[in-house]
Amino acid sequence: MAEPYITLVSSLPYLPPFEQADRSPITRLRLEQRLHNLDTDDARQLAKAEALVGWRMSLAKPKTDADMVLRSRAAMQDISQSALREFIEFRIDQQVILAGLRQRNAGADASVLEPVSGASRWVRHIAAHWGDPNFKLAAVYPWIAQARTYLDGNDACALDSLLMHVIWQRLGHIAESNRFGFEAVFAFVFKWDILQAWLARDAVRAKFRFQDLIKEIKDDS
Amino acid sequence: MEPLILALGWVGLYAPLALGAVGSMIGCARAGSAACGALLEVESGYGRYIGVAAMPSSQTIYGIVVTMALRRELTLENSPGIFGLGLLAGLALLFSASAQGSACAASINVSKNKLEIFGISLAPAALVEGFAVFAFVFALVLAAGIPK
């Protein structure tokens, strides 16, 4: 197995489970410095993936579902690393399932998924099983039932935590598949992103952010 | 045919040293790369990591000893034995050094954040070393049976 990033991986600190962390073990600046050891092409692919499926997307968030589909298709054409592609697909699947659950809770029917029909392999499946509580995907994604419970209870914090946990676990498996390869590096970066998002949780700031988003939507319309 | 047999004898004679050295190069480079990375993360104990990175160099020493044990005037009678013994011992040393490098790199990577597991994390590397010692010792034992 290729181990091109032994030095880079060894220079990265241990990331504690995000729920137990009280501070980030590495700053973004220092992480960027370490990531300079990445091959140019790998660095480019990682940046694209971060902008697309990072917990806190670094680029402006897409305004519409169709915009998101276009953006993901464009990015996927540039991403050749199979493990990274699989992770992106996993994240997009997760987002599509969550969007389906939210839309159904809001009373929408399956036709609402049409704009994202090309985004995930599960869109047709979800539309076909719109009436099933878990879209008949519980065997593939066991977290759906729990996510549905949190959505029904309007518990956004618990839902966030659950999704972060699912992604964290997935990234752990990816990193284990090649401990000194690109897999370990990008798994670290996405985990670090989740950790930052977890540590940045702040009710007061969230309120201001929510008000900003409302203002942004009003300005657009 | 006779020159070929004698040439194989020479290959077998030098294989333990050459292949052991190749393995040590790979292993030390792997472990050394991990050590260099860890140096960026730790505040002290640098020598510990560099020391671990040198562990795969022992295979070269075993290779030198086996080559010296096999050294004799090459004849048609002893060349096939030297070839078989030397080549297989060399391959064992090559793979063990390379694998030990990976084990050392893993040890360095995990122990930089949790110093208390430094010793136990070296156990896999020590196990690999044990297999290299088996190959080394039995190469010496069997070398004694090859005609002078």
Task: Give the domain ranges of chain A.
Answer: 6-220
The C-alpha of B40 sits at a distance from chain A's nearest C-alpha, in angstroms, of 6
Q: What pLDDT was estimated at residue B41?
A: 85
Whole-number average pLDDT of chain B: 95
Number of domains within chain B: 1
ipTM above 0.90, yes or no: no
Give the integer Cα–Cα distance in Å for B59 and B57.
5
Question: pLDDT at residue A219 above 90?
Answer: no
Evaluate whether residue B148 is within a structural domain.
no
Which amino acid is present at B42?
V
Segments forming the whole domain that contains residue B29: 2-143
Residue that is written with structure tokens 């956004």 in the block: A156
* Residue A13 to residue B35, Cβ atoms within 8 A: no
CATH number at residue B42: 1.20.120.610
Give the integer Cα–Cα distance in Å for A130 and A122.
12
Q: Which residue has the higher pLDDT, A84 or A121?
A: A84
Residues A52-78 as b or e (16 or more Cβ within 10 Å = b): bbbbeeeeeeeeebeebbebbeebbee
* Residue A10 to residue B35, Cβ atoms within 8 A: yes
pLDDT digits (tens, 9 = 90+) for B24-50: 999 999 999 999 999 988 888 889 999
Q: Are B59 and B65 in contact (CB under 8 A)?
A: no
DSSP B35-64: HHHHHHH-SS-HHHHHHHHTGGGHHHHHHH
* Residue A10 to residue B37, Cβ atoms within 8 A: yes
pLDDT digits (tens, 9 = 90+) for A124-177: 899 999 999 999 999 999 999 999 999 999 898 899 999 999 999 999 999 999
pLDDT digits (tens, 9 = 90+) for A34-91: 999 999 999 999 999 998 888 876 555 666 777 888 888 888 888 999 999 999 999 9
Q: Tell me phi and psi for residue B69, to 5 degrees.
A: -70, -30
DSSP B72-141: S---TTTHHHHHHHHHHHHHHHHHHHHHHHHHHHHHHHHHTT-GGGHHHHTHHHHHHHHHHHHHHHHHHH
Radius of gyration of chain A from Cα atoms? 18
The predicted model gives A107-116 an average pLDDT of 83
Evaluate whether residue B14 is within a structural domain.
yes
Partner-chain residue, chosen from B37, B113, B114, that has the shortest CB–CB distance to A8:
B37
DSSP A25: S
Structure token pair of residue B93: 């040393």
